[in-house]
Amino acid sequence: MHNRKINSETFHDFGDGNGPVAAHRHLFGNGWVADSAHVDETAFVGINARVFGNATIKDNAIVSDHAQISGFCTIKDHACVRGNAIVTGACIVQDDVEISDDTFINRHICLGGHLLLKHAYICADRNDCLNCPALLNDNYGSTKNNPCFYCLKKMKSWPHLSHWFTPACRPGASARALKNTIKYKE
């Protein structure tokens, strides 16, 4: 990942295929935030964490370690995303949810309560793909021909997830993954 200054603006390459984009370091935690994303002053973005795309981090949410939040996701309340977790798509993570380790979430889902996800893989199903916000937004990192290529490319490009890769529209795969990986905090 690279950053550079051009005409007094800071640019950072988030590794999402869009190249360097306008970005800044968040005041609370010093993590990278794309100018297209929104992070409240009260939210924490750790120095190695990255928030980009059209993501929103609100309230007292925490994004730390090497976590990546992108797409149209919203992380709010006291939710925590850490480790090497990747949260993308159009999900909402709220309440006291903790997402950690090598968790990968790429779907339109709302996670709340006292949920703990570790090493989970929750991928989009056919309905998620048909309702994908990238289909409606020409400026969000998808290819000009097919936004699905963006998601498929992302899933294949993350080495620590390559052994879990399955096509995004395989019916039932996300339900089985969700059933096998969700654990509740005690």
Q: Which residues pair with 121 in a beta bridge?
A: 104
At 109 the pLDDT is 86
Asked, for residue 93, whether it belongs to a domain, the answer is: yes
DSSP letter at 108? S
Which tokens sit at 28?
């609370």
Domain span including residue 110? 40-184
Which tokens sit at 12?
């950072």
Asked, for residue 178, whether it belongs to a domain, the answer is: yes
pLDDT, tens only, 48-88:
999 999 999 999 999 999 999 998 899 999 999 999 999 98
At 3 the pLDDT is 54
Asked, for residue 18, whether it belongs to a domain, the answer is: no
At 154 the pLDDT is 56
DSSP letter at 164? G
Asked, for residue 20, whether it belongs to a domain, the answer is: no
Total domains in the fold of the chain: 1
Q: What distance lies between CA 84 and its chain's CA centroid?
A: 11
Asked, for residue 49, whether it belongs to a domain, the answer is: yes
Asked, for residue 27, whether it belongs to a domain, the answer is: no
Question: Which CATH number belongs to the domain containing residue 120 in this structure?
Answer: 2.160.10
Asked, for residue 135, whether it belongs to a domain, the answer is: yes
Q: What is the pTM of this model?
A: 0.71
Residue 100: its H or E element? strand 98-100
Per the prediction, the chain carries an average pLDDT of 76
Asked, for residue 13, whether it belongs to a domain, the answer is: no
